[in-house]
Chain A
Amino acid sequence: MAFPMAVERWLDVARMDELARQGTPVHRIDARAQTVTTLLFIGVVMSFARDELSALMPFFIYPVALMSAGRIPAASLLRKLAVAMPFAVAVGLLNPVFDTRPALALGPLHVSSGWLSFLSIMLRCLLTVSAALLLVACTGMQRLCEGLVRLGVPRVFAVQLLFLYRYLFLLADEGRRMTRGIELRSPGVRGVRFRVYVSLIGHLLLRAMARAERIYHAMQARGFDGRIRLQFTSPLRLADPLFVGGWTLFFAVARVWNLAEALGALLMKGVG
């Protein structure tokens, strides 16, 4: 298998695009508002002390709300999360090894601060990664890039993102067809031999460059002069500043006060 997780990955990307074209209220929120809120969310989540757990919990409301109101299936997000976690898990797992100071006692159970920070890393990973994925799933590449340009990202970079995205599928497909040909002739072999690999990659590269040239011709034929004009049609609606403002307020409150612990204390008091 020279093309291990490619197939699911591509299906998933296409799927994200499908999801992004829904017309839910979340999808009608301006891409700029969503981008700003997402960045803010990630910044706030990451600003907590490194072994914070309970105070992070209320932040789950943001991805859950987007997911539900935007009708994004949890399964596809979780699959991506599983792909995304390994590096953070690997590095984070060393925290319990290097930091064994006791931090928490739940009856007979003693938890070291290393485990706390490991769990905290996992929580943040879940929160930030799902927020990033939801941003795309709720806006889509085109609206997102338009939003980026209007937020001041250089047009050349936004256009680059759009072109990259446009030709991802096509080139992946070419790559898949080429590797399939090799696989069929060498069954049971994982990966390809170096020389075959180089010629494979080389051909893929030459084809990509030839395609770029043809695209350039097609662009010139329709008046391309070095500058891609993009049309921005969507004006900001009242809902957009409300979206940003509301979430900002919530993030601020949840950042300053540990809402989860407060709730827990309230409940415990009731029990006690």
Chain B
Amino acid sequence: MHMADALVSPVVGGTMWLAACGLIGHSVRRIEASAKDHLVPLMGVLGAFVFTAQMINFTIPGTGSSGHLGGGLLLAALLGPHAALLVIASVLTVQALFFADGGLLALGCNIVNLGFFPAYVAYPWVYRVIVRGRYGAMRGSVAALAASVLGLQLGALSVVLQTQASGIAELPFGAFAALMLPIHLAIGVVEGCVTAAVVAFVARARPEVLPVADAEPVRSLRPVLAALLIAAALTGGLLSGWASSLPDGLEWAIARLSGTEEVSALRGTWHARLSAVQERTAVMPDYAFRQTPLSARPDGSDGASAESTTARADAPSALPLGTSVAGVVGGAVTLLVISWLGFVFRKWPRAV
């Protein structure tokens, strides 16, 4: 369920980064306030444990498919919500940096989806309410199942909302939700079963490591929760409108700054990718292939010629085909040049 960089717009990614920063800051403060020194190595090692556990699969009976542990709820059950959030965030960060799971822009989304919901929603408001420090088979299973399912459903819903608000993927909201939620219902059930079984295992082998009833208050989480809800509402509601109707936030902002109204004229057409700003300022905007005058200057013309072409291309007859061909040719040549530069760079440091 890792959100990918390529599907997140900077506005959504940035908003979620802020939310994630807030969450990490909050959890760090709570951990420091708790003064539990032993958490430092414990959190680190359990992060590594979650990594390892995620790579071990088991067969799901009767389906031929396999499942593995996600670990969010298990961490919360073992460490409490604050340390769990920090561990999950660190796991996601390492995954983004080393394994290219998710990505850096989407990291905030992933920390919210996979960390906030299990640790700060499902754990305190479902798991702990049901378990109350007693790890009986029935009670533990129900709690883990309910909490996992809720955590993962919220996470999946959040993925859908973030994707939607980003407006990069075309998937209609309903279809995407209809795809994601049932899948994550199944994943949630599996996760719940594993979490319950592993907690029961630990409760048998070393009961003293499990937190006892109501060790930590949850009330102070409200401000964070409120902030997050607001952030989510902002992203989901307000920004999705902009994101889907405008080429993108940055261009929109630039257009606003430069006082152009052309953005709205272009909106929704296949012209959309050419922002007004680009047309105004481009060295060679919207260059029309077929309109090239026969008297065009010979190859290798310089900036002066570019300017005169710009003037001609301002004519409304500029054809999109020209643009696209120029884009394709230019793109290909750019890549070639860059790969060549790559070889040059590779030689260069050896001389240093």
If the complex has contacts A256-B277, A269-B292, are A174 and B330 also in contact, measured as CB distance less than 8 A? Answer: no
State in angstroms the CA–CA spacing of A81 and B40 once bound together. 32
Whether A135 is near chain B, meaning CB under 8 Å from some CB there, is yes
* Chain B window 92-134, contacts with chain A (Cβ cutoff 8 Å), 1 for yes, 0 for no: 0110111111011100000000000000000000000000000
Query: Are the CB atoms of B342 and A260 closer together than 8 Å?
Result: no
B287 close to A (CB within 8 Å): yes
Return the chain B residue nearest A22 by Cβ. B349
| A133 interface contact, C-beta 8 A | yes
Is residue B260 within 8 Å, beta carbon to beta carbon, of the partner chain? no
Query: Could you tell me if A4 and B326 are in contact, using CB atoms closer than 8 angstroms?
Result: no
The reply to whether A261 and B194 form a contact with Cβ atoms under 8 Å apart is no
Contact in complex: A262, B284 (CB < 8 Å): yes
Contact B287 A269 (CB under 8 A): yes
Whether A269 lies near B45 (C-beta < 8 A) is no
Q: Does A234 contact B (CB under 8 A)?
A: no
Identify which of residues 234-255 in chain A touch chain B, using a CB-to-CB cut-off of 8 Å. 255
> Are the CB atoms of A54 and B328 closer together than 8 Å?
yes
Mark contacts of B161-176 with chain A using CB atoms, 8 A cut-off: 1 yes-contact digit, 0 otherwise: 0010001111110001
Tell me the minimal C-beta distance from B79 to chain A in angstroms.
Answer: 10
Distance of A252 Cα from B251 Cα, bound (Å): 12
Instruction: Decide if A175 touches B171 in the complex (CB within 8 Å).
Output: no
Nearest residue, chain B, Cβ from A264: B330
With A164-B48, A256-B278 known as contacts, the answer to whether A69 contacts B202 (CB < 8 A) is no
- Given the complex of chains A and B, what is the CA–CA distance between A196 and B201 in angstroms? 12
A211 on interface, CB distance cutoff 8 Å: yes
| Residues A260 and B330 in contact in the complex (CB < 8 Å), given A122-B6, A124-B6 | yes
A interface footprint on B324-352 (CB within 8 Å = 1, 0 otherwise) = 11111111111100110111111011001
Interface residues on B, range: 35 or more
Binds A, one of B140-148, B232-240, B294-302: B294-302
Contact residues of B between 152 and 166, Cβ < 8 Å to A: 163
Q: Are B100 and A265 in contact (CB under 8 A)?
A: no
Say yes or no for A42: interface residue by CB 8 A criterion.
yes
Look across to chain A and name the residue whose beta carbon is closest to the beta carbon of B24: A157
Is B184 an interface position by the 8 A CB rule?
Answer: no
Q: Which of B58, B320, B322 has the most CB atoms of chain A within a 10 A radius of its CB?
A: B58
A265–B284 CB distance below 8 A: yes
A221 to B352, CA, bound (A): 45
Using C-beta atoms within 8 Å of the partner chain, give the interface range for chain A.
35 or more
Chain B interface main SS type: helix
Q: Which of B105, B176, B326 contacts A268 (CB 8 A)?
A: B326
Contact A57 B331 (CB under 8 A): yes
Residues of B within 8 A of A99 (CB): 170
Interface membership of A33, Cβ < 8 A: no
Chain A interface mostly? helix
Closest chain B residue to A114 by CB distance? B170
**Which of B211-219, B220-228, B268-276 makes up part of the contact surface?**
B268-276
The complex places the Cα of A58 from the Cα of B327 at a distance, in Å, of 12
- Which residues of A are found within 8 Å of B172, using beta-carbon distances? 98
Partner of A67, one of B69, B97, B342: B342
Within 8 A of B (CB), among A184-217: 189-194, 196-202, 204-206, 208-209, 211-213, 215-216
In the complex, which residues of chain B have a beta carbon less than 8 angstroms from the beta carbon of A198?
Answer: 194, 197-198, 201
Asked if A143 lies at the interface with its beta carbon under 8 angstroms from chain B, I say no
**In the bound complex, do residue B45 and residue A212 qualify as a contact, i.e. CB atoms below 8 Å apart?**
yes
| Chain A contacts for B332, CB-based, 8 A | 264
Known A168-B51, A209-B45; judge A52-B100 contact (CB<8 A): no
Q: 22 pairs across A/B with beta carbons < 8 Å?
A: A42-B5, A47-B251, A50-B248, A68-B346, A83-B101, A88-B6, A92-B6, A132-B103, A133-B97, A156-B28, A157-B28, A160-B90, A166-B44, A171-B48, A171-B49, A171-B51, A194-B193, A200-B56, A211-B45, A262-B284, A264-B328, A264-B331
**20 additional A-B residue pairs with CB within 8 Å, beyond A53-B327, A202-B202:** A24-B349, A42-B104, A54-B328, A57-B330, A84-B100, A92-B169, A95-B170, A113-B270, A121-B169, A144-B97, A156-B40, A161-B93, A163-B44, A164-B90, A172-B51, A193-B58, A200-B56, A257-B282, A266-B284, A269-B301
Interface pairs A-B: 10 shortest CB-CB? A163-B44, A264-B330, A270-B299, A54-B327, A202-B201, A68-B345, A84-B100, A197-B58, A265-B287, A164-B47
Which residues of B pack against A, CB within 8 Å?
2-10, 13-14, 24-25, 28, 31-32, 35, 37-38, 40-49, 51-53, 55-61, 66, 69, 86-87, 89-91, 93-94, 96-101, 103-105, 163, 167-172, 176, 193-194, 197-198, 201-202, 205-206, 209, 247-251, 270, 272-273, 275, 277-278, 281-284, 287, 289, 292, 294, 296-301, 305-306, 309, 320-335, 338-339, 341-346, 348-349, 352
Q: Hey, which bits of chain A sit against chain B, CB under 8 A?
A: 2-6, 9, 12-13, 16, 24-26, 38-39, 42-43, 46-55, 57-58, 60-61, 64-65, 67-69, 71, 80-81, 83-84, 87-88, 91-92, 94-95, 97-99, 101-106, 113-114, 117, 121-122, 124-125, 128-129, 131-133, 135-136, 144, 154, 156-157, 159-168, 170-172, 174-175, 179, 189-194, 196-202, 204-206, 208-209, 211-213, 215-216, 219-220, 224-226, 228, 255-272
